[in-house]
Amino acid sequence: MCGIVGYIGRRQAQPVLFNCLSKLEYRGYDSCGIALLGDSIQVCKDEVRVKALEKALPPIAGLAGIGHTRWATHGEPSRANAHPHCDCTGRIAVVHNGVISNFQRLKDKLISTGHVFASETDTEVLPHLIESYYQGDLEEAVERSLADIEGSYAIIAVVAGEAKLVVARKDSPLIIGIGDRENFVASDVPAILDYTSRVVYLEDGDIALVTADGVRVRENGARIDRAEHLIQWSVADAQKSGYEHFMLKEIHEQPRVIRDTLREYISADGLAAEVIPSGEGGLENMLIAACGTSYHAALIGKYIIEQLVRVPVKVELASEFNYCGQVPPGSNALVITQSGETADALKTMKKLKEAGCQVLAITNVVGSTASRIADHVIYTRAGPEISVAATKSFISQLVALYWMALPHARVDLRTLDELIMELRQLPARVQEVLDNEAAIREHARRLARFNDVFFIGRGANYPVALEGALKLKEVSYIHAEGYAAGELKHGPFALLGAEAPVVAILASDHTGEAMLTSIKEIRARKSPLIAVVEEGNEAAGEIADSAIIVPRVNQVFSPVINTVALQLLAYYAARERGCPIDFPRNLAKSVTVE
């Protein structure tokens, strides 16, 4: 969601802040601003992109400052609602990510004592609260203010005339980057990679004092040492490397990502150690929770585990499970979150742990909140994913799920060896899909003229249909819906016709005949139809108006191959329509509020 940065050190802060903010644009935002710290505080903010604000400002001296990209929650996008926010005197400035649930009550109380507010935001109560408690010690004033706050926050506060940043977090991510006679604060690692790879992850309840010379962290009033981590990503990993968009680059990185993820799990001798030892219940009574694209991975994981291990799996939307879900006794729990900071997923993890579950997490970010809450962690090794639309992180989640299931698979040794061999060959098969990019682009060009599209699949490819529809609507703004093919007859048939194309995923498995029946029913209703079919099954594809041919694999792995084809379809449809592919409107990469 919102992006936060802070700097204090030996450089001029203004260019550092803008550079860091530009690295957080992928999180999604509608306004931005900076505050430069000196004897006074100079705030510059507007409802514009980071580059536009940077270009509009003259050089402003200052060796410390804070910055923010805002994704509107309380109050519409505007200059007044953009961060940083100040108190009435203009001496205290704050940037904030999260939601203050009791802000109206606090605001009313502050107004009654003479405070004047300039915005509609919940955040603005923070600088006013801090000012009301400030008696020369900013750290103490922040701590007392936070005791009044209900909700979530990651904040940086500054006061004029004091060369320090005071930072704090609760349920929103915040890191400190350690430099040489300079230090950085950010909501995510890519913001600071140009300057340092040394990072301290703050925990819930931490308050830290950051100066040019050091960092002091306190938890519940007591001094505490937080471990320093070395980030393995490079600056190049977070750049476009010649691609027009990050999304296309990340789609093309998927063969490498699969290899890197597999390297964690499979050696030359076969499978690495089981992530859930059989003695701890294996995959029995498995409950998987996730949100968005990760939820689609969870649904595919259900099919993988049930097919290979032959045990039932329950899958929950984390956002619903937090309010309605019950934890079955004896559950093994898995939570999937790309960023490791998804608010709904983290809340689910805490609920599961309170119910006595051992919680496993699949995440892409070492040191993320999810990795610290979980009892066991599987890292997906996808590297930084900058485009808001998840692609390579989704594929790496599937690879992690295959590895979870294979050690417990109820198959003979020969079949297991064949499955492992196919898993090793997935990078090559995905590359074959990418090599067919030009043909997929032509399909996308034709699809881009429509305003409504249906995706259908059966079995493990039903969640692939959901993911294909999500990708298309995320980046192209075409209304798209994913369905289990058998469900079209239960309502959606009313919408079929010449202006409602269907993308059908035909797997060469036990669902094949039923899918052909569904396709014939669709053709009878005049909907343009694109079939995704495997090599050797071209005859099935001939029933459709056109076909995307993908390589043949064991059907348990077909979701990987079919998803990559649909990612390219969505990307090129969006490109044809001239959409801002990496930064879709209203969306954010890391959803850190409920």
pLDDT tens sequence across 19-40: 999 988 776 678 999 999 988 9
What one-letter code names the amino acid at 134?
Answer: Y
In terms of DSSP bridges, do strands 479-484 and 183-186 run parallel, antiparallel, or are they unpaired? unpaired
What is the rounded average pLDDT for all residues in the chain? 90
- pLDDT exceeds cutoff 70 at 255: yes
The pLDDT score that the predictor gives to residue 487 is 85
What is the CA 470 to chain-centroid distance, rounded?
A: 14
Q: How confident is the model at residue 278 (pLDDT cuts 50, 70, 90)?
A: very low
- 419 in Cβ contact with 406 (< 8 Å): yes
DSSP string across 75-89: S-SSTTTSSPEE-TT
CA distances, 309 to each of 268, 361, 378, 401, 409 (Å)? 23, 20, 19, 12, 4
**What value does the mean pLDDT take over residues 354-364?**
91
The pLDDT score that the predictor gives to residue 241 is 76
Rounded to whole angstroms, the Cα distance separating 377 from 32 reads 35
How buried is 12 (Cβ within 10 angstroms: 0-12 exposed, 13-18 middle, 19+ buried)?
middle
Instruction: Name all domains of the chain by residue range, CATH numbers in brackets.
Output: 3-231 (3.60.20.10), 239-432 (3.40.50.10490), 436-580 (3.40.50.10490)
| Residues 448-488: tens digit of each pLDDT | 999 999 999 999 999 999 999 999 999 999 999 999 988 88
- pLDDT exceeds cutoff 80 at 257: yes
**What value does the mean pLDDT take over residues 150-154?**
91
- Maximum separation of any 2 CA atoms in the chain, in Å: 79
| Proportion of the chain above pLDDT 90, given as a percent | 65
The pLDDT score that the predictor gives to residue 594 is 54
- 24 in Cβ contact with 190 (< 8 Å): yes
Residues in contact with 210: Cβ distance below 8 Å, sequence separation at least 6, in sequence order = 6, 8, 164, 165, 166, 167, 176, 183, 185
198, β-bridge pairs: 230
Structure tokens at 472: 């298309």
- pLDDT exceeds cutoff 60 at 277: no
What is the CA 219 to chain-centroid distance, rounded?
A: 28
**What value does the mean pLDDT take over residues 290-298?**
96
**What value does the mean pLDDT take over residues 364-383?**
88
How buried is 80 (Cβ within 10 angstroms: 0-12 exposed, 13-18 middle, 19+ buried)?
middle
The pLDDT score that the predictor gives to residue 3 is 87
Evaluated on CA atoms 339, 343, 345, 347, the torsion sign reads positive
- 338 in Cβ contact with 398 (< 8 Å): no
DSSP state of 225: P
Active site residues: 2, 589
Rounded to whole angstroms, the Cα distance separating 475 from 471 reads 6
Residues in contact with 50: Cβ distance below 8 Å, sequence separation at least 6, in sequence order = 18, 21, 22, 25, 32, 69
- pLDDT exceeds cutoff 70 at 238: no
| Proportion of the chain above pLDDT 70, given as a percent | 94
Structure tokens at 147: 């005791």
**What value does the mean pLDDT take over residues 329-350?**
89
**What value does the mean pLDDT take over residues 511-535?**
86
The pLDDT score that the predictor gives to residue 523 is 84
For residue 98, how many C-alpha atoms fall within 13 Å in the half-sphere facing its CB? Answer: 29
- pLDDT exceeds cutoff 70 at 270: no
The angle, 0 to 180 degrees and rounded to 10, between the axes of the packed helices 103-112 and 125-133 is 50
**What value does the mean pLDDT take over residues 141-151?**
94
**What value does the mean pLDDT take over residues 523-537?**
88
The pLDDT score that the predictor gives to residue 200 is 94
Highest mean pLDDT among 195-209, 327-341, 521-535, 562-576: 562-576
- 159 in Cβ contact with 65 (< 8 Å): no
Angle at 510 between CA 509 and CA 513, to 5 degrees: 100
- pLDDT exceeds cutoff 80 at 280: no
Q: How confident is the model at residue 179 (pLDDT cuts 50, 70, 90)?
A: very high
Rounded to whole angstroms, the Cα distance separating 229 from 140 reads 28
In terms of DSSP bridges, do strands 215-219 and 222-224 run parallel, antiparallel, or are they unpaired? antiparallel
**What value does the mean pLDDT take over residues 160-181?**
93
DSSP state of 281: T
Rounded to whole angstroms, the Cα distance separating 570 from 573 reads 5
- pLDDT exceeds cutoff 80 at 541: no
Structure tokens at 38: 């000196």
For residue 409, how many C-alpha atoms fall within 13 Å in the half-sphere facing its CB? Answer: 23
Residues in contact with 505: Cβ distance below 8 Å, sequence separation at least 6, in sequence order = 455, 456, 457, 461, 464, 465, 468, 515, 531, 532, 562
- pLDDT exceeds cutoff 70 at 538: no
The pLDDT score that the predictor gives to residue 279 is 44
